Amino acid sequence: MTDKTPRSTPDRRRHRLAARLAWTLLAILAVPLAYGAAGYVSGFIPVNDNWREAKQGVTIYVETNGVHTSLILPIAAEGIDWRGLVSPNDLADPRYAGDHYGFGWGERRFYLNTPTWADLDARTVIRATIGSDETLVHVDHVVRPFPDRWRRPLRLSSDEYRRLSAYIRASFAPGRPKPIPGYTPSDIFYEGRGHYDAITTCNEWTGAALRATGVRVGAWTPFESGVMRWFR
């Protein structure tokens, strides 16, 4: 005969608790998976699809270290001289000053507390993901940049270059922003402005700067691949 004895109340409670825990774990896993999928797919969706590289103009570089992207611009071009904002004398040793600046933007604690990925901790990740209004602009001094797999050249028209420069300038704190020592003798941080979170990441800042310039790039670029795939 089949045992049709009803399940006891404690058994039912344990079953319901196990089911709730399972659904909770699935929900927790679903969020990063959905975020990753959305970020990956949106990087393939072009904005400014009709854009073409200028035949004459200013050559900049879009750079990646495999995780983080930045924009390399000449110190002076088209009447824009960055030395009024980013002085070589801000470096501990001005002999490391370059003829180009590499600009990046990100969350303050993430930048300062994570000089290498080995220094990354959960608290820093959670704070950056939830969001912060404490941001920095990271500036690398670059000497005679050249194209390679990590650094892609891009020629902008005069108007495009001015739009890009205006976007980058607006990411600095107003006035003469305070310089903060960097990781090496040739890089430095400055007080920035803007809100950083899981939507507006360091790589999305690069993508947004290029979109505002009019350059073809991904619609949303939280990951470096959404930026770099457009520049071969």
pLDDT digits (tens, 9 = 90+) for 73-88: 999 999 999 999 999 9
> What confidence score (pLDDT) does residue 43 get?
94
Q: Which two tokens stand for residue 75?
A: 């110190």
CA–CA distance, 228 with 62 (Å, rounded to integer): 7
User: What local confidence, expressed as pLDDT, does residue 8 receive?
Assistant: 63
| 126 against 168, higher pLDDT | 168
Predicted confidence (pLDDT) at residue 91 exceeds the cutoff of 70: yes
* Mean per-residue pLDDT, 190-198: 94
pLDDT digits (tens, 9 = 90+) for 112-154: 877 666 776 777 777 777 889 999 999 999 999 999 999 999 9
pLDDT at 72: 98
Per-residue confidence band for 41, with pLDDT thresholds at 50, 70 and 90: very high
Reported as a single tens digit per residue, the pLDDT across 206-232 is: 999 999 999 999 999 999 999 999 998
In the predicted model, what is the mean pLDDT of residues 69-73? 97
pLDDT-above-70 percentage for the chain? 87
Give residues with Cβ within 8 angstroms of 28, minimum separation 6: none
Given a cut of 80, whether residue 12 has pLDDT beyond it is no
β 69-74/100-107 pair status = antiparallel
- For 230, counting Cβ atoms within 10 Å of its Cβ (0-12 exposed, 13-18 middle, 19+ buried), the class is buried
Where residue 29 falls among pLDDT bands split at 50, 70, 90? low
Which helix (H) or strand (E) segment is 42 a member of? helix 9-42
What does the alpha-carbon distance between residue 54 and residue 161 come to, in Å, rounded to a whole number? 11
Least Cα distance to 190 among 82, 61, 81 occurs for 82
Using the predicted structure, report yes or no on whether residue 17 has a pLDDT greater than 70: no
Q: Which of 188, 68, 151 is nearest to 116 (CA)?
A: 68
Predicted pLDDT at 95: 95
Burial 174-213, CB ≥16 within 10 A → b, else e: eeebebbebeeebbbbbbbbbebeeebbbbbbbbbbbbbb
Start-to-end C-alpha separation, the chain: 72
* Structure token digits, residue 18: 């196990």
- pLDDT for residue 148: 95
